[in-house]
Every structure is written in C-alpha cells, then in structure tokens.
Structure 1
C-alpha cells in the first residue's frame, strides 16, 4: 500500500516513516500555496479565512536538505517547493529529493495545450542536463553527490 503525506518538518517525516508512509512530499513555503488555492476556491468567507491563514505555511526551500536528509533510503521524497525549471529540479535532487514536482512552473503551458506542456518539460530536461554538465555530474546519481558551495561563497560572487 502506498501512503503519501505532505511534510511539515524533519521530525514529522521520521514519525510518518515509522507509521509506514512510503512517499514524503516536502512541498511548503516558496512554491504554489495549496492553502491559498483552496482559499480562492472556498465558497464562504469562514473557509476562505481559515485557508488563507495558512497561505505561507510550510518548509522554506533552503530548509529542504535537512528535511530530505531524514527520509533518505526509507521513503521516496518528492520536492515541490518552488520548482520552476530544470535548475530547480537539479537543486532538489542534489539536496536529496527522488522526484521533483511542478505546479506554477508548468501552469502557463498547461493553459495553452498538451504540446506546450510536453515542450515545457523538454526544456526542463535540457536545463537539468546542462546543470549536470556544469556540476561535472554524468547522471542524476552523480548529481546527488555534487559538491555544494556554502551560501556565503555564493553571496560573495553576487
């Protein structure tokens, strides 16, 4: 039986895995806010107010590594935190995700046609391939081991 849960924290991930959850979604703050989506869909003001109070709730993208690290080898990890392009997919995989999901990143193409969605994901795949090349990673397994630069190093080059 496949169990799927959206994650709140690393400690919750461990508890969910102990309970038999097989897939952990680390989506949270920074991506599409499903609470906000539900708030917009709500038919009455009370439901809207409850949902919108949680519009910014979730794990920020920079906290994904500690969350994902606690689930490795025991559950499949889905990263859906602000995944807009292939570079974001590469980051998520490097930080430990097994799968990356998109909502807003593909929505524009989805409003056009099936072919536009296919084209969008062809670009994402090419971007991911370039990210692998830029990190010296021959494949996704190698990308998972690519060297990370400390954020202070990245800030000094900005």
Structure 2
C-alpha cells in the first residue's frame, strides 16, 4: 500500500523557477479575487505581468529574508516568505497554497516554518497584513495565535494587521 503524500518545507531562492511559478499563481489568484469583488472582472493581463515583474521577491533573499516552498508529495504546492523589518521584527508575506491542495495542513506548516526562519534571523515578533476578502487567511492567522493589531503600514490593499510573539512556540 502506498503511503499518503506528505509535506516538505524547504528554503528556496526567490528567483528559482519554482518560486517564480508559485508567485505567479499566488498573485494571479489574489489579484483576480480583488478585481472580481470590486470591479466584476479579472485582472488585466498587462497589469498582471507588470505587477508580477515589479515584485520580484528580492527582499526575501538572505541575509535578511527567506522564501519557503512547501512541496506536497514532492510537487511544489505553496510558499511563505519572511523578511526582517528591523532587528527584532519580521514580516510574514506570500503565504499561499495551490487551491487543489488546500485543507491538507500545508498553510500552517508554511507559517510555522516562516516563524522558525524569522527566529533564526533574530526576530522576536512577526507582523503581517491581509485583505478583508481573504477570509481564509484571516482565519488561519487567528487559529495560529496571531492577534489583530493597529496598522503597521499604509498598504492601500491591507485591511487587517496581525502580530504574534515569537518568543515561544504556542502550537
């Protein structure tokens, strides 16, 4: 009998072909969700290409950042990024799991891996922002011990800001 697939979380260069493909999938999904909700249309292809190119993920490169890739059964399935904002604060970003693999525990593993990476970078707290329509993300962060807090940036697409102490693993 074949064992069920498992998750493996590893660091990956932000500009690897796998990382770029997952970034494209992530950005396409969140952009389309935004435009469908607010304008009743998908993302304009020219805008999509421009924005994907403009946000390479270079801030997720060592020594002050990390990009993690989750593989499910050996296949690239998701990402989580972390970047230092100051000596003790890291920011969680690009948390994504391909739609067909959601509900299998990958997102929580990616976030916990990003927390470990942030601790290794010297961070004692993690911050993040997300949009109101990304209800699954907000539920995930709350379940993992993140608390809503005051805005820590002026991102026009951010509606909710979260923080979590990294001093200990809370499960």
Please give the TM-score of this superposition, normalised by the length of structure 1: 0.30
More strand by share: 2
Please give the TM-score of this superposition, normalised by the length of structure 2: 0.29
More helix by share: 1
